[in-house]
Amino acid sequence: MTPFAPEAVWIERGEVGTPLAQAVIARLGADAVRLFDPPDGPRPVGVRAGKRVLVLRRHGGAFLRQCPAGTAGLVCCSYLTLNLASNCPMDCAYCFLQDYLADAPALTAYTNVGEALAEVAAVLDAHPARPFRIGTGEIADSLALDPLTALSRQLVPFFAARPNATLELKTKTECVDELLALEPNGRVVVSWSLNAAAVIRRDEPGTATLAERLGAARRVAEAGYRIGAHFDPLVEFDGWERGYAEAVDALAAAVDRRHIAWVSLGSLRLTPALAQAVRRRETPAGVLAAELVAGPDGKARVWRGLRLRMYRALVTRLRAAFGDVPLYLCMEPAPVWRQVMDEVPSDRALGLRLAAGASW
Amino acid sequence: MADDAIRAYAAARRFGAATLERWLGLTPAARAALLALAERCRLGENQFRDVLDDLVDIAVRRDADPSAVLEDPAIAALWRRGLGRNQAIKALKDVLRGLRHPQRTAIEARLAALARSLRLPAGAQLTWPPGLEGEQLTLTLRAGSVAELRAQAAAVAAVAGDAAVDEMFALLEGRW
């Protein structure tokens, strides 16, 4: 994949001395950077314009949140998200950020990482017997900016020293160089969002190819990290059976099953607003071709029977390849779990199971 | 010229700017084909937008231009039926829905055929979830007397073991 090169970099004046800002300046040079004083600053219009300008600034609110996938009526994996950045330089056709960040589209990395980690430490210390799974890939790609910000140098040592937490770095890139020199101590899972190669080519512009992602996964596995895989969103297209079978086989060929912490499956889901954003894209998105119907939560998914077929096909293939590696469904109700997995775990039980799968 | 006609049509029907922009953003062939369709059916904005959404989605599914979708034999057959405006629009939407959701439409047709094969008594109705988003069949009995209810229940019990019922559940559960 082509490394991300922002058209402009803006840094909040008072944050220039932070490790994050210094890392960016060291890589791009001071001449490449412009300073701003809040509330002034860059105001890109539109999510796609926002992807081309990198903004470094303080974050004023909470960093740690419950994963929004924990919607009532759906089985939840008790995941926490740590929002250290917002937006993403890649441009997936189905990405919910097209709607979610429509009013605040600037690609932003937060500079007060120390405050974020102090917030995490307070939660972990308050519940020392509870295992936490915390991810940074909710409203940003966990590693897309790492070649510029070297954020992983702050995150990995912090979590490596924490006995009751696992950090998940979720990405569609091959930006793992910073990770290779760090010691995860069994507390960091590097996860890839995976898809059929045809979907990646058509609907995930700017991302690493499937082969590049799996090559990067092999490298970090060899460096001591556990690996996660998220087949999400599963997209129904002509030839999906073969496309997803090949993706599972490619994962199995790249990463030994002993390195896999967990694998999730999730169906393509579009809110009405996101569907309209997808329709406004210059190139018609392939995801629009899927047979979607609106569910009780208002999101359109592939209709139930076809969705169950897709899940079963993937689960069968994954079980054959990875044995008893923890598998879970993202944002699905109990009846779907029962049909696909022959069980409906409680949110707590699922969270504990996945946390156990993350440790060596 | 075609774009002028499109603007004139949109202005006459008070289309929003976003809808007009989407229309004008199509290929020339698609713009013209949509204009012919809109004029034939005298589509209002909401109707036009629904049709446009379906056409674009079907075109993506077929890797074709929306104008090619409008040449589908199922749509061409509509115009030979001599339908009135409202009937034509409804029929068009039904055809587009079938083209947009071919697998789901086929499963729904199969479910309907299986339900008919059970020959349930009058007053008994078997339905499935809208959009097939669920695995439950719903059986409704409408009886005006105890005797009628008992007769319906007996008839339903007699067919409950029919292989058609097994197949209906299998279809809803994605096992086909």
A205 occurs within a structural domain: yes
Which residues of chain A lie closer than 8 angstroms to B56, CB-CB? 279, 284, 288
A24 is a domain residue? no
Residue A70 has pLDDT above 90, yes or no: no
Instruction: Give residue-wise pLDDT tens across range A122-178.
Output: 999 999 999 999 999 999 999 999 999 999 999 999 999 999 999 999 999 999 999
Q: Are residues B8 and B36 in the same domain?
A: yes
B33 and B84 share one domain: yes
Write down which residue in B82, B100, B118 finishes a domain.
B100
- In chain B, pLDDT over 70 holds for what percent of residues? 99
Q: What is the pLDDT of residue B77?
A: 94
Q: How far apart are CA A254 and CA A321, in angstroms?
A: 12
CB pair distance less than 8 Å for A306 and B104: yes
pLDDT in tens, A88-109: 999 999 999 999 998 889 999 9
pLDDT at B29: 96
Smallest Cβ distance to A293: which of B133, B173, B174? B133
Domain boundaries, position A243? 63-104+113-358
The pTM of this model reads: 0.93
**If pLDDT is split at 50, 70 and 90, which confidence band does A356 have?**
confident
The answer to whether residue A345 sits within a structural domain is yes
On whether both B21 and B85 belong to a single domain, the answer is yes
Q: How confident is the model at residue B1 (pLDDT cuts 50, 70, 90)?
A: low
- Decide if A305 and B22 are in contact by the 8 Å CB cutoff: no
| ipTM for this model | 0.87
- Structural domain count of chain B: 2
User: Is position A6 within any domain?
Assistant: no
User: Could you tell me if A132 and A123 are in contact, meaning their C-beta atoms sit under 8 angstroms apart?
Assistant: yes
Q: Are residues B118 and B80 in the same domain?
A: no
Q: Per the CB < 8 Å rule, is A304 touching B22? A: no
Yes or no, beta carbons of B22 and A279 under 8 Å apart: yes
Q: Is B60 close to A339, i.e. CB distance below 8 A?
A: no
More confident residue, A12 or A296: A12
> How many domains does chain A divide into?
1
Which has the higher per-residue pLDDT, A76 or A295?
A76
CA distance A159 to chain B (A): 41
pLDDT band at A73, cuts 50/70/90?
confident
Q: Give the residue from A1, A22, A3, A5 showing the smallest Cα distance to A154.
A: A22
Residue A42 in any domain: the answer is no
B88 and B113 within one domain: no
What would the pLDDT profile of A11-51 be if each residue is shown by its tens digit? 999 999 999 999 999 999 999 999 999 988 898 888 888 99
pLDDT for A360 equals 47
State residue A358's pLDDT score. Answer: 59
Query: Taking residues A254-270, what's their average pLDDT?
Result: 96
Among A303, A310, A314, A344, the residue to mutate for chain B (most B Cβ within 10 A):
A303
Residue A17 lies in a domain: no
The reply to whether B110 and B127 lie within a common domain is yes
User: CB-based burial of residue B83 (10 Å sphere; 0-12 exposed, 13-18 middle, 19+ buried)?
Assistant: middle
Same domain for B120 and B84: no
Of B84, B100, B116, which residue is a domain's last? Answer: B100
Range of the domain at B95: 2-100
Same domain, residue pair B30 and B52: yes
Q: Please name the residues between 289 and 318 in chain A that touch chain B, using a CB distance below 8 Å.
A: 289, 291, 293-296, 301, 303-309, 312
Of B100, B121, B153, which residue constitutes the final position of a domain?
B100
A143 domain residue, yes or no: yes
B-chain CB neighbours of A293 within 8 Å are 101, 104, 130-133
**Closest chain B CA to residue A239:** B61
Respond yes or no on whether the N-terminal peptide bond of residue A39 is cis (omega within 30° of 0): yes
> How do residues B19-74 score in pLDDT, each as one tens digit?
999 999 999 999 999 999 999 999 999 999 999 999 999 999 899 999 999 999 99
Are A305 and B107 inside 8 Å of each other by CB? yes
- Does B70 share its domain with B107? no
pLDDT, one tens digit per residue, over A185-233 is 999 999 999 999 999 999 999 999 999 999 999 999 999 999 999 999 9
Task: Examine residue A270 and state whether it is found in any structural domain, yes or no.
Answer: yes
Q: Is A197 on the interface with B (CB under 8 A)?
A: no
Domain of A147, CATH number, reads 3.80.30.30
